[in-house]
Amino acid sequence: MTTGSPPSPRTTAIWIACIVALGLVPLTGTYVTGLAAEILIFAIFAMSLDLLIGYTGLMSFGHAAFFGVSTYTMVILGVHLGWSGWIGFAAGVAMSTIAAFVIGFFAIRVSGIPFLMITMAFAQLLMSISVKWRSVTGGTDGLSGFQRPTLFGLSLENRVTQYYVVLVGFLLVLFFLRRLIASPLGSIFIGIKENEQRMLAAGYPVQRFKLIAFTLAGALAGIGGGLYGLHNAFVSSDILHWSLSGDAIIMVILGGAGTIIGPIFGSAAFLLLKNVVSSHTHYWLLWVGTIFILCVMFLPQGLWGFLRQRFGRRPPP
C-alpha cells in the first residue's frame, strides 16, 4: 500500500491517453458509443461493489437494489409526476443512499454467508415490490415514456450527449474512489478487510465503518443507476433481479477485486462477451461462465491483476 506518492510522468501520460481515448469514442458511431456508455455505467456499478467486496471484505449479493432504486426513483418521478431527469437523478441517488443505510444497518450485524443472504433477501424484497406495485412501477412490463432532460440546450435523447454525461459521471466516481482508497477513511476499510479483530483491538468501532462503507457503496451504485435511467429511459423489475447482483460480482472478480481499475475491465469484458457472443449463440452465458471459471482458476487476481503483473512495474493506480 504505497499510496500518495506523486504519480510518475509515465503514469500521468497513460491516464491522459486513456481519458482522451474515452473522449473520442463517439467518433466510432452510435452502436459502439451506446455500448461504451453501458460499459462505463456498469463499471461504476462494479467499482461501487468492489468497495465492499475488495476493500472492506463485505460479500454483498444484493447490490442491484441500490442500482435499481435509483433508476426507479428517477423514471417514476419523471413519468408520473413529470419531474426533470436531473432532479430525478439527485432524488434517485438520495433514495439509494437511504436504502443502503437502512439495509446496511441490519446486514452488518452478521458476516460471511448470513451477510450475503440478508443483502440478497432485501434486494429480492425490493424486486417483489417492483413486480407487484404495477400501478407505479409497471411491474415486469416496465415503465416507459420517460423524457430525458436537456443539458445546456443539448438533448440527452442524443446518444453522444448521453455518452458524455455518462463519461463525466464515470470519471468523477473513479477519481473519488482513488482518493477515498488512499485516504485515512479508505485505510480503515482496508484494515477491516485484512483483520477485523485487530482493528477492534486497536480501538476502531468496526461496525460503524462497515455501515459507512455500505452506505457509500449504495450511493455510488445509485449514481450508476441514475445514469442508466438517463441512458435507457426505461426501467423494469429486471433491474432489481438477483442476477444483476451476480453479474456485478462476476465483473468485480473477473477484473480484479481490491483494485480500482479491475472492475472497469470486468465490466468491459462482461458486456463485450455478452454483446459479441450473444449475436452468435443464445448460450452466451455458458461462455461467460466458462471464462469466469477459467479466470478464477488461472488469474486469481483478475484481468487487471494479471496485466499489472505482466506489464506493470509500479503499484496499482
Partner 1 sequence: MSDTSANLLRLDNLYKSFGSLVVTKDVNLTVDRGERHALIGPNGAGKTSLVHQISGQLRPTSGRIFFCGEDITGASPDEIGQRGIGRTFQKNNLFRQLSMRENVRLALQAKRGNWYSFLRPASADRALLDEVDAILTQVRLADGRDRLVANLSYGEQRQLEVALALASQPRLLLLDEPTSGMSPAETERMIDLVQSLPAELGVLLIEHDMKVVFTLAHTITVLYYGEVLATGKPDAIRDNPRVREVYLGLGH
Query: Is residue 135 a contact residue for partner 1 (CB under 8 A)?
Result: no
207 and 31 Cβ atoms separated by less than 8 Å: no
Residues in 207-236 that interact with partner 1 by CB under 8 A: 209
Q: How far is CA 278 from CA 43, 63, 298, in A?
A: 20, 25, 25
Beta carbon nearer to partner 1, 27 or 201: 201
Beta carbon nearer to partner 1, 26 or 57: 57
Nearest distance, CB of residue 175 and partner 1, angstroms: 10
Beta carbon nearer to partner 1, 83 or 306: 306
Residues in 174-203 that interact with partner 1 by CB under 8 A: 179-180, 182-188, 190-191, 194-195, 197-203
Q: How far is CA 100 from CA 84, 220, 233, 267, in A?
A: 24, 10, 24, 22
Contact window for partner 1 (CB under 8 A) among 2-10, 116-124, 141-149, 150-158: 2-10
Nearest distance, CB of residue 259 and partner 1, angstroms: 13
Query: Is residue 313 a contact residue for partner 1 (CB under 8 A)?
Result: no
Nearest distance, CB of residue 204 and partner 1, angstroms: 5
Beta carbon nearer to partner 1, 103 or 188: 188
Q: Pick from 206, 277, 285, 291: which binds partner 1 (CB under 8 A)?
A: 206
Beta carbon nearer to partner 1, 200 or 296: 200
Query: Is residue 279 a contact residue for partner 1 (CB under 8 A)?
Result: no
Nearest distance, CB of residue 268 and partner 1, angstroms: 26
- Burial of residue 179 (number of CB atoms within 10 Å: 0-12, 13-18, 19+): exposed
Beta carbon nearer to partner 1, 22 or 185: 185
47 and 177 Cβ atoms separated by less than 8 Å: yes
Q: Pick from 29, 145, 205, 289: which binds partner 1 (CB under 8 A)?
A: 205
Nearest distance, CB of residue 246 and partner 1, angstroms: 26
Beta carbon nearer to partner 1, 2 or 279: 2
Angle between helix 284-298 and 262-278 (nearest 10): 150
**How does DSSP assign 51-93, residue by residue?**
IIIIII----S-THHHHHHHHHHHHHHHHHH---HHHHHHHHH
Query: Is residue 314 a contact residue for partner 1 (CB under 8 A)?
Result: no
**Cα(213)–Cα(301) distance, integer angstroms:** 22
Beta carbon nearer to partner 1, 22 or 171: 171
71 and 229 Cβ atoms separated by less than 8 Å: yes
- Of all helices (H) and strands (E), which one includes residue 150? strand 150-151
Phi, psi of 182 (to 5 degrees): -85, -5
DSSP state of 139: G
Q: CB-based contacts of 198: which residues, under 8 Å, 6+ apart?
A: 191
Q: Give the residues lining the site for partner 1 (CB under 8 A).
A: 1-5, 179-180, 182-188, 190-191, 194-195, 197-206, 209
